[in-house]
Amino acid sequence: MPAVNNVGPRDFDAAVAGPKPVLVDFSASWCGPCRAMAPALEKFAASRDDLGVVKVDIDEAPDIAGRYSVRSVPTLMLFVEGKPEAAQAGMMSEGQLARFVDQHLPAGGRKPVEQDPDRPQVDLDW
């Protein structure tokens, strides 16, 4: 089974809605940079069990691309709990993919809860 699964209009919302963050590769079959990036994306996806990775062909799912204002391919978009968290257009290497994802996801794959500035910080180091 490939590490990167293709999703379309019927299964996109379910694919990005789970508790695990999902990296979406918006691409097209005619896109040279998309095809060139595919091996790096597969390798990256196989190395990350904390993250789902899916591919959306913008020609097969133009409504999804329009919903997220995808204007060029490849565009990588990171979804957390069904909502877009970050996007980057352009071809990326495996290392660039890792930096992009890690920059937007702290360890554990979830964004930290914002501390209320009106409440005192509690130091639990005994």
CATH code for the domain defined by 5-104: 3.40.30.10
Q: What is the pTM of this model?
A: 0.83
Sign of CA dihedral 41, 47, 51, 54: positive
pLDDT in tens, 27-84: 999 999 999 999 999 999 999 999 999 999 999 999 999 999 999 999 999 999 999 9
- Does 115 qualify as catalytic in the annotation? no
| pLDDT tens sequence across 73-119 | 999 999 999 999 999 999 999 999 999 999 998 665 544 444 445 55
Return the H-helix or E-strand segment holding 26.
strand 22-27
**What pLDDT does residue 110 have?**
43
Catalytic one of 31, 41, 54, 70: 31
Annotated active-site residue in 4, 7, 23, 34: 34
pLDDT at 123 over 90: no
Catalytic residue list contains 77: no
Give me the residue spans of the domains in the chain.
Answer: 5-104
